[in-house]
């Protein structure tokens, strides 16, 4: 496999008229999701944002009927107290909040907003990029993962993106290097997957993507990064079936934690089963390997 190439020239060909529902668990007004929206839109995707009215990190797959916004209003003063359970930005109706959990927000985007804006179900669903990584067992409680797996359970190919660097900040703050890098990388992964052709992912499968630290001096450009196919959880010796064979391994992929912790700019892409949030088997890993091979690399020996 060759190393990551930020092949911007081919992206518009791959993304034209592809409809995307974008959600998260940090809230609709958090800067990360807005920067990813901009990156996807600039690449030619047709995007609607449907995310919680407030920070709902760590809520996993919790789900509840949306309610009237409370006395504190939406996060970062993005809507006033007493606002309705569902709302949108008056200057851009594609920015929508749902006063409930990430799962609820993603479902609203798929079942209600997508037919309104697209005239059909979305082609793909994205969650994030999250403030902080979602590695290993953390995937079981992550609202970002909850949103992505909800989409996959509804038959929509889905990816959850998470990044090590950053804190929760509002959409009016200046764009930071890490936000631009994570948005560009996430747009690239999405574009390469779409460019691979239909079906984008097998049924009930989602991808978990995690990025290491970014600063103005370390991993400061998308071209610095290498993507590595990984697994979410540690394998149990003599119990866990073999993974797909790649990078001259012995049938065992590195964990996403190992990838992100490796010195250098390595980002992990794991293949999960939506109904359990656990690792998919070798057959589904092979499908993803074939689709993303052009951007996948290996950890150093």
Go through the domains of the chain in sequence order and give each one's CATH number. 8-297 (3.40.1210.10)
- Longest CA–CA span in the chain (Å) reads 58
Torsion of CA 157, 163, 167, 171, to 10 degrees: -50
Q: Is the pLDDT of residue 13 over 60?
A: no
pLDDT digit string, tens, across residues 177-210: 999 999 999 999 999 999 999 999 999 999 999 9
Confidence (pLDDT) at 250: 83
The phi, psi pair for 205, rounded to 5°, reads -115, 140
Identify the band that residue 8 occupies on the pLDDT scale cut at 50, 70 and 90.
very low
pTM for the model: 0.95
Percent of the chain beyond pLDDT 70? 95
Please give the C-alpha separations between residue 67 and each of 70, 226, 266, in angstroms, as whole numbers. Answer: 9, 42, 41
Mean pLDDT of 82-111: 98
Mean pLDDT of 126-142: 98
Segment 72-81 long-range contacts (CB within 8 Å, at least 24 positions apart): 74/27, 74/28, 74/29, 74/99, 75/27, 75/28, 75/29, 75/30, 75/170, 76/27, 76/29, 76/30, 76/170, 76/171, 76/172, 78/28, 78/29, 78/53, 78/170, 78/171, 79/53
Contact 266/259 with Cβ under 8 angstroms? yes
């Amino acid at each position: 496999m060759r190393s990551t190439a930020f092949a911007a020239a081919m992206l518009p060909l791959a993304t034209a008229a592809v409809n995307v529902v974008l959600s998260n668990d940090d809230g609709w007004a958090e800067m990360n999701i807005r920067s990813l929206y901009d990156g996807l839109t600039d690449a030619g995707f047709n995007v609607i944002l449907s995310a919680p009215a407030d920070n709902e990190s760590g809520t996993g797959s919790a789900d509840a009927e949306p309610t009237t916004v409370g006395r504190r209003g939406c996060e970062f003063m993005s809507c006033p107290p007493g606002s309705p359970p569902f709302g949108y930005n008056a200057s851009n109706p594609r920015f929508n909040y749902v006063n409930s959990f990430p799962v609820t927000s993603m479902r609203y985007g798929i079942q209600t907003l997508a037919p309104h804006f697209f005239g059909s179900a979305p082609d793909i669903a994205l969650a994030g990029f999250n403030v902080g990584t979602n590695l290993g067992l953390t995937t079981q409680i992550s609202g970002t993962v909850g949103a992505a797996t909800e989409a996959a359970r509804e038959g929509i190919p889905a990816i959850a993106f998470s990044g090590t660097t950053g804190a929760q900040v509002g959409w009016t703050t200046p764009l930071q290097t890490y936000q631009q890098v994570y948005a560009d990388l996430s747009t690239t992964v999405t574009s390469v997957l779409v460019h691979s052709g239909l079906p984008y992912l097998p049924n009930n499968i989602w991808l978990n993507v995690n990025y290491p630290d970014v600063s103005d001096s370390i991993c400061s450009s998308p071209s610095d990064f290498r993507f590595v196919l990984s697994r979410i959880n540690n394998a149990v010796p003599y119990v866990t079936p073999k993974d797909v064979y790649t990078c001259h391994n012995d049938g065992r992929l590195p964990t996403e934690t190992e990838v992100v912790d490796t010195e250098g700019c390595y980002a992990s892409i794991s293949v999960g089963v939506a109904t359990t949030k656990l690792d998919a088997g070798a057959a589904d890993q092979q499908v993803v390997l074939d689709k993303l091979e052009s951007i996948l690399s290996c950890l150093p020996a």
